[in-house]
Amino acid sequence: MTSPVLVTGGTGRLGRSVVARLVEAGQEVRVLARRQRDTQPQATFFTGDLRRGDGIDPAVRAAGVIIHCATSTLPPPGHTEGVRTWDQFLAEELAEHRDPAARVKSA
Ligand SMILES: NC(=O)c1ccc[n+]([C@@H]2O[C@H](COP(=O)([O-])OP(=O)(O)OC[C@H]3O[C@@H](n4cnc5c(N)ncnc54)[C@H](OP(=O)(O)O)[C@@H]3O)[C@@H](O)[C@H]2O)c1
């Protein structure tokens, strides 16, 4: 591969490994994510948000190949409907599973 490779989510768990392997192989690498953190110094970082569409064009224009490693398990900023804290999740979802015998009796 000679064209620069863009790794979306190149700062994440999977993306970081992909970026490290590419750099090790002598590949020119671009990284796209919302925040710069622990990016390989040999890679060029682009700030962008795939959900909002900000900053994608310059990163894509600078690449010949794209490896998509970005993901988000969090809801978009400001979206709170249906979002629960871990404590709420435990209280609401798991409470009934703590006493399986009680569930069988009530069935
Ligand atoms: N980890 C594994 O062992 C593994 C194994 C096989 C498959 N996978 C799959 O690989 C994918 C990535 O998983 P991961 O564990 O690496 O996740 P992760 O550590 O949470 O990394 C997510 C990456 O995506 C970026 N990102 C999130 N939202 C973004 C947005 N809106 N725009 C641009 N970048 C965004 C994050 O940076 P910012 O938050 O700064 O934007 C980060 O770089 C998932 O689909 C997962 O199922 C993971």
For 47-99, how does the pLDDT look when each residue is reduced to its tens digit (9 = 90+)?
999 988 999 999 999 899 999 999 977 666 677 777 777 777 777 766 655 66
Cα separation, 22 vs 31, in Å, equals 11
- Spatial neighbors of 69 by CB under 8 A, at least 6 apart, are 7, 8, 9, 10, 12, 14, 15, 18
Fold held by 5-68: Rossmann fold (3.40.50)
Higher pLDDT, 89 or 105: 89
d(CA 45, CA 47): 7
Q: Is 66 helix (H, G, I), strand (E, B) or coil?
A: strand
3-state secondary structure of 37: coil
- Nearest alpha carbon, ligand 1 atom 6: 14
- pTM listed for this prediction: 0.78
CA–centroid distance, 11 to ligand 1, in Å, is 8
